[in-house]
Structure 1
Amino acid sequence: MIFFVNKGIGHGNSGVEHAQFYRAARFREKNIPFKLIFTDLLPKLHQHIQEWQLAENEVIGLYDYLLHDDPDTYLREGEVNIHSYQQDILLDDTQTQRMMRCQTTGNYQATIYKHKKHVPEKDIYVVEDDRVILENNNHRISWHYRDTASRGRQMTNIHVDNFRGEYYVFNTFETLVAFFFAEIQQRYQKNIYVIDRGTENEVALIQMKRSGQPIVLIDVVHAAHFVRFQHGQPLWNSYYQYMLDHVHDLDVVIVSTQLQKKAMLTHLRHIGINHVDSEIIAIPVGGVTNISAPRRWSGGIAHFVTASRLHSEKNINHIIQAIHQLRLEGFKSTLDIYGVGSEEQSLINLVNELHLDQVIQFKGLSHQLTDTLAQYDAFVSASYSEGFGLTYLEAMAAALPIATYANLYGAQELIHNGKNGYLANFDPHRDQISDNINHLSTAMRKIFDHYDALSLGAHQLANNYQAEIIATQWQKVVAKYDN
């Protein structure tokens, strides 16, 4: 069996989850069996399985499995007892949460006891989870949280009661995850684990492989792996530190672009790791199935669109300010923003402060983004870093020219300056934001000086990323080890 290993899934997902959805679609087309594994506690898991058009028998949730009446049936069929999410919250006389009980969308209930503590550094009180109890009749999982100096709050004293009639205690979440993967390993044959997220997942699976289990490990890199050189040595992105420290334990590392493959090989050679060229493979995280015809610009109002999580690292505020700048210069333009996230309210406030509420709209999520993008004239992004940038590809499939910061590695691989859009130079230091926005607005305006040619270029380049090509690349990787 082939497993896509991740921590969680939700209503608004990152590019990691969307990469998994794309990969799942390609595997279905090639009739390659797979299952997605999620190791986080996800009370609304089954709601999101339906929302993102996954099948129940394609998903294994760690807690669903350990709490199930019949774990083997669950592995075959998925969860069949789906519930609506409901919760009750107990407040004390200061209106502080003390306990939350919920019926999860799976077949178990969760009771979470809260703890209120004072944080002297900020002189505020915070409410945190203290004890968690999950129950499905006589099946039960419970744990406490403890504060650690280096890793924050961690699960401890984890009890798993009546799993296959046995009772277990784990000191850490990492040991629980290791137990879970050992269970999975016993139930399937010829296992290939494609690790998309979670250092604890990497640790458990690498230890399993070192113990002699006949497994294949494929680690997928979804972002820039390298930060900078420090004292002559590469400083890795913390999400990929463990992977790069244990690269010899992996069978394959998948990156999204040829640019990142070349960079990673260079960085590894710098620390004395050679002869891994064939183990690092570039496969785009997404592909396109339908490519729109090239467009023509007939003038009028330029309708821009962007789509991403509304988080600070996406710099949506730069795009809003670029629109403001374009309009001050007399260039008629609008912007629609797709996505959800923690920055939404602050972005709405910025739009209102700039009196742009009539020309900038927040549209929420789109589950058919390529079709949605086809309603617009051009795509814009302001992220300083993109491992690939699925939305770039979806914009290209809609034949939209693109204006974006020249980030590594997605923009520099997918956007060819003057061919399908324009790359805006940027400096990540805070005191350079104003200049960055100037560069971005210039790129946005320049699109409409060469619109028809850029739309044709987007259409042509999108053909390099057809879904069938991506599916065949994955099929070759799997075939090498599936014997």
Structure 2
Amino acid sequence: MEKKKVYFLHSNIGEHLTGIEKSAMKRGNIFVKYLNIEPVFVTFSKNVNVHTNWERYVENGVVDKNITMINLFEYFQRSEEGKNLSSYQIKKEKTYSYEEEESEGITYCRMYDSNDNLVKYMIWRPNNLLSYINYFHDGKKIVRDRFNRFGQLSHTEYLREDNSVFMTEYFDVYGKRVIIKYEDGPYLISDKNAVFDTVLPDEQALILYFLKKIIGEEEPVIIIDRNKRYSPLFTERKQLNAKTISVFHSTYFANTKFRSKLNKNYKDVLNSPYSFDNIVVLTHNQKRDIEEQFGINNLVTIPHPCQTVENLDEIAPRTNKLVSVGRLSSEKNLDHLLEIVSLVKKRIPDVLLEIYGTGKEKKNLTKLVHQLNLKDNVKFKGYVDNVDSIYATSELFLFAGQGEGFTMSVLESLSCGCPVGSYHVRYGVDEMIQEETNGFLVAFDDKEKFAENIIAYLNKTDEEKLQYRQEAVNTAAKYAEDKVADKWKQLMNNLS
């Protein structure tokens, strides 16, 4: 029996996963395992490393090897055929002089003409394949060539004086120009003979053109994870023969305190909800709130799935170790956690908070660590693909966000037997955390109470902590893969 295809619409697969990509991968994994469905991740951003990143997530067990990923530009450029072709090679010419240097395995080379004017600046990756070449004229950068992961020319960018790109030419691995992109449109698409026979006015038209190419005549299910970018394809008029599901990954409101403004990512969906066959939200409370505010009746609650840890009593968390996992961004309020830890330190001097993740707030947070004299109590550990062992060896997971659609990291922590301390916010934590059972909740911004709860938990006996850890696993079991798969199966059957 041929497997049914379901397309997940995403922007990119980066070196570090966002919560949206990670949750979609978990969904794709249960589609393969339980539903005999072949998920296809569809990405539209140009990223020469997109397949390298994807293969790493497959290798590390984050995403099932049977799930495929198709990128718009790689599709037209036939990028994966490059693995069997020769890479682009630079031949040094005697009429030019060259300066080379190497740093951390990366080779940099500047090429000068006979008048010592910089002509080219070339960079090779650690595998000795070209990464890009900048071209100069009269001291100004005018053109940049970028190369794919196999070392063939990917695209050429034409630059203004301020280095912004006004036109890009994309090539397939055989050197044929397949797309010309102007800054604000249009896009020119070539046929098999390199003749530009299709003109598309903007990115939305390009995405629609691409989707029709890969879908063909079938009527698939399309799951929209990146709503701001792709919802307009479906809200204006039905342009694809497909069943559509919009997934809300965060709160439907932007102002987390007053809920007075719609989240821009979901505004189009909420203004035209019946353009979609279903809208999936992650919690019962968000479903209830949207129904009450908008009167929408095609909402379905399906949470994220998880796997729970086995042999919990064989895992020994490190004494007084706390953990936080997520982007280092302002909305995560990690500065609150640092202030809370400084309060805990007064009673428990060896308390340790490990922070996993990357983001633009790293510099500010590092500065605050020093201001609060926490350099021995707070460690920034960077991004890791798999965090199960991190949760399992921690006493408490801490969350200080002001609003979330589900808070997947909380569920991951519970599934590994790590209780959770969190602000009491919408959504997710209010459904997963039970006071004096598997963690604690405190009112937003009450740092003193938060610290008191951490101290109280860390001072519990080993037997009491083990009971909390077992209850954490019991809570996570409600979100077990097979149970969540049943919800998706029912939804898919209803679409047929």
* Same topology, TM > 0.5: yes
- Tell me the residue number matched to 2:428: 410
- Tell me the residue number matched to 1:250: 276
- Tell me the residue number matched to 1:302: 320
Moved more, 199-208 or 16-25: 199-208
The CA deviation at 1:436 is 3.7
Q: Does 1:290 align with 2:274?
A: no
- Tell me the residue number matched to 2:232: 203
- Tell me the residue number matched to 1:219: 246
The CA deviation at 1:346 is 2.6
- Tell me the residue number matched to 1:33: 38
Whole-angstrom distance in 1 between the partners of 2:363 and 2:140 = 24
Summarize the Cα distance change of 1:93–1:345 in structure 2 as closer, same or farther, 3 Å threshold.
farther
Tell me, yes or no, if the aligned pair for 1:56 and 1:79 is still in contact at 8 Å: no
The alignment's C-alpha RMSD in Å is 3.1
1:27-58: CA deviation from partner (whole Å, max 9, x where unpaired): 11022112011111122101111121154861
Summarize the Cα distance change of 1:86–1:224 in structure 2 as closer, same or farther, 3 Å threshold.
farther
Summarize the Cα distance change of 1:38–1:79 in structure 2 as closer, same or farther, 3 Å threshold.
farther
Correspondence for 1:103 among 119, 126, 147: 147
Summarize the Cα distance change of 1:89–1:344 in structure 2 as closer, same or farther, 3 Å threshold.
farther
Tell me, yes or no, if the aligned pair for 2:145 and 2:153 is still in contact at 8 Å: no
Q: Which amino acid aligns with 1:181?
A: L
Summarize the Cα distance change of 1:334–1:234 in structure 2 as closer, same or farther, 3 Å threshold.
closer
Q: Which amino acid aligns with 1:461?
A: T
Larger radius of gyration: 2
Q: Does 1:280 align with 2:323?
A: no
Q: Does 1:67 align with 2:106?
A: no
SS of residue in 1 equivalent to 2:251: coil
Tell me, yes or no, if the aligned pair for 1:131 and 1:142 is still in contact at 8 Å: yes
Whole-angstrom distance in 1 between the partners of 2:28 and 2:368 = 38
- Tell me the residue number matched to 2:200: 170
SS of residue in 1 equivalent to 2:261: strand
- Tell me the residue number matched to 2:493: 479
The CA deviation at 1:167 is 2.4
Moved more, 375-384 or 97-106: 97-106
The CA deviation at 1:421 is 0.8
- Tell me the residue number matched to 2:360: 342
Q: Which amino acid aligns with 2:218?
A: Q
Q: Does 1:159 align with 2:188?
A: yes
Whole-angstrom distance in 2 between the partners of 1:22 and 1:233 = 29
The CA deviation at 1:342 is 2.0
- Tell me the residue number matched to 2:483: 469
Tell me, yes or no, if the aligned pair for 1:234 and 1:267 is still in contact at 8 Å: no
Q: Give structure 2 stretches of 5+ with no counterpart.
A: 88-126
The CA deviation at 1:349 is 2.7
- Tell me the residue number matched to 1:131: 167
The CA deviation at 1:294 is 5.9
1:229-250: CA deviation from partner (whole Å, max 9, x where unpaired): 99x9963111000111110111
The CA deviation at 1:207 is 4.8
The CA deviation at 1:3 is 0.4
Whole-angstrom distance in 2 between the partners of 1:328 and 1:89 = 55
* TM-score relative to the length of structure 1: 0.81
Q: Which amino acid aligns with 2:294?
A: L
Moved more, 397-406 or 60-69: 60-69
The alignment covers a number of residue pairs equal to 437
SS of residue in 2 equivalent to 1:286: coil
The structure with more helix, counted as a fraction of residues: 1
Q: Does 1:179 align with 2:209?
A: yes
Q: Which amino acid aligns with 2:339?
A: Q
Q: Which amino acid aligns with 2:312?
A: A
Q: Does 1:18 align with 2:44?
A: no
1:341-366: CA deviation from partner (whole Å, max 9, x where unpaired): 22223322322333322222121222
Summarize the Cα distance change of 1:18–1:297 in structure 2 as closer, same or farther, 3 Å threshold.
closer
Fraction of identical pairs, as percent: 20
Tell me, yes or no, if the aligned pair for 1:288 and 1:397 is still in contact at 8 Å: yes
Q: Does 1:44 align with 2:58?
A: no
* TM-score relative to the length of structure 2: 0.79
Whole-angstrom distance in 1 between the partners of 2:138 and 2:14 = 31
- Tell me the residue number matched to 2:13: 9
Tell me, yes or no, if the aligned pair for 2:315 and 2:393 is still in contact at 8 Å: no
Summarize the Cα distance change of 1:469–1:57 in structure 2 as closer, same or farther, 3 Å threshold.
closer
